[in-house]
Structure 1
């Protein structure tokens, strides 16, 4: 079995049942997602890609906020995409949100969309779940149009939170195959330097989460 198929099976197993109540529970601890959507600020008539789109929650919120923009979502889990399609149809946004199944770390995964570059690419609490997250970031960078940006929000290192809270949180996250990326900042800085881009990285909520951005000048 390939690594992609193995990861897809794992994610389907994790979310087979969770997807039905995922959004109801995650709003309490996936903090900073709406800040990311606010900061996207894509150009009018632009195109935006979410890598690891899950239930479609972020795509729907962003499509409502930016009514002239086309949105695309990729996820490796077929179960999550089934839920996302249902949610998008309920929101009446099928004409502005397109979904595709694929591995975010594969730079060819978006080829079936027929779009080579995007104005914005974003990751929302997905890099901490991706086994080869560095490759996913690198792939996302190749999708950016001149002047484009990658936006990221994910779990931080809880550096300013009590030790007992950090210990419990990390143990709980591990049960869902989630690992905050201790070297996310250095990886982003390296990618930005190698591509002539700029990088922004900021802890949120005393380090509970982190917001980051890579910007390609254009």
Structure 2
């Protein structure tokens, strides 16, 4: 991943804002409790964490990424925004992360994954781990590419080809996997297609 993002990280946020729709909608939905812990899986440059930390100043924010190159940019961004006391970062693998090992946390109140699952090969494991670390009343929030259900077929073919060229693979099986995880872990599931299926949004809530 460092080979992929060593250079690309410097203009990652500028390019992504044009097609990663629904990220700020997700952040607005987090609503963590005062003093609550919020974790981003695959935090990249920490763009989402800085927006969330400003929106919810009473919460504590944590993020990890497998790419040390991305984390180098993330640390600089967090410091630039004056949020070093609000956001902690670590290197970790989404498929097998442990919040206790990474941050000394037994559970967290909110977990979010923003356009991460389409880039992580073991994406199902990431969902399972994210759900498993939720505190009572906690929630896991996801936004990622959908399947263009109500958009022209040519648009899907064109966009998916361009995404695949950058090792990004929208997960057609996501609704079924979310349903399975919800059943296995006794969670409530909310699933919402966005922008005519361009993106999918989901929330798993611990009862």
TM bracket (short chain)? over 0.9
Structure 1 residue 108, shift from structure 2 partner: 2.9
Q: Is structure 2 residue 157 aligned with structure 1 residue 182?
A: no
SS at match of 1:147: strand
Offset, 1:107: 3.6
Residue 163 of structure 2 is matched in structure 1 by: 173
Residue 127 (structure 2) aligned to one of 121, 134, 137: 137
* RMSD (Å), alpha carbons: 0.9
TM-score using structure 2 length: 0.98
Partner residue, 2:89: 99
Q: Secondary structure at the match of 2:93?
A: coil
CA contact (8 A) 2:92 2:102 kept: no
Alignment of structure 1 residues 1-218 onto 2, 5 Å: 11-108=1-98, 111-217=101-207
CA contact (8 A) 1:105 1:135 kept: yes
Question: Which structure 2 residue ranges, 5 or more long, are not aligned?
Answer: none
**Greater mean deviation of Cα atoms: 173-182 or 104-113:** 104-113
Q: CA deviation at 1:109?
A: 6.2
State how far apart, in whole Å, the 1-side matches of 2:99 and 2:110 are.
Answer: 17
SS of equivalent residue, structure 2 residue 119: coil
Per-residue CA deviations over 1:89-114 (Å, capped at 9, x if unaligned) read 00000001000001011043651311
Secondary structure of 1:211's aligned partner: strand
Deviations, residues 153-173 of structure 1 (Å, cap 9, x unaligned): 000001111111111100000
Over residues 80-132 of structure 1, what are the superposed CA-to-partner deviations in whole Å (9 max), with x where a residue is unaligned? 10000010000000001000001011043651311110000010000001001
Distance 2:64 2:9 in 1: 16
Structure 1 runs not aligned, ≥5 long: 1-10
- Deviations for 1:134-183, whole angstroms, at most 9, x for unmatched residues? 11111111110000000000000011111111111000000111111001
| Contact preservation (8 Å) 1:100, 1:110 | no
Aligned counterparts of 2:166 and 2:5: Cα–Cα separation in 1: 10
State the shift of 1:15 in Å: 1.1
Q: Tell me how far apart the structure 1 counterparts of residues 190 and 90 of structure 2 sit (CA, whole Å).
A: 29
